Amino acid sequence: MPEYKDSMGRYRTQSLFLETISITTETPVFTLKPQDHKGLPSLKRLYLEWMDPTEYSFAVEVLGSWEHWLKLCGSEWFMEHITVWRDELEIKLRSEGVASMRKLAAKGNKDASKWLAEKGWNKRSGAGRPSKEEVERERMQQARLASDLDDDAKRLGL
């Protein structure tokens, strides 16, 4: 995938994206926006659609190599994006898991019913105080959710 490397054969990072490109001789390949923009695919959209928590098959299929993905994820400027995407993917996967368990429970599966009743989607066992990291992560997720809801309400004129 030659478009993912620069003229010196190095993996492109900032120059891959419309929002961060500074080299005028390169053409951006992706956008960092949540949806495709100006004819460029959204890497966030692709990441979430791939639903690959290991990120390996996503990296190989979309960027052409695991090494390129590691280089991109090692970029400080990209960390703010991928951290949010990883959180959203985890929630998306958990949501789909809950939906599957609800379907099973509706069909009479007792294990699925028990899992739902015991909040099996919640990783914490409930014992002990949550760590500072868990509290901060939950706070950030709630803030993003509230922001998204506010944006939706504004678009709908509510």
The pLDDT profile of the chain, 158 residues, written as one tens digit per residue, is 547 888 888 999 999 999 999 877 788 999 999 999 999 999 999 999 999 999 999 999 999 999 999 999 999 999 999 999 999 999 999 999 999 999 999 999 999 888 888 888 877 655 677 788 878 887 887 777 667 667 767 777 76
Residue among 63, 53, 116 at smallest CA distance from 90: 53
pLDDT at 100: 92
Residue among 48, 60, 17 at smallest CA distance from 70: 60
pLDDT at 49: 97
pLDDT at 126: 57
What are the start-end ranges of the H helices in 55-157? 56-58, 66-73, 76-106, 110-117, 132-156
Residue type, 151: D
Contacts of 79 (CB under 8 A, 6+ apart): 73
3-state secondary structure of 156: helix
Contact by Cβ (8 Å): 124, 130: yes
pLDDT at 158: 65
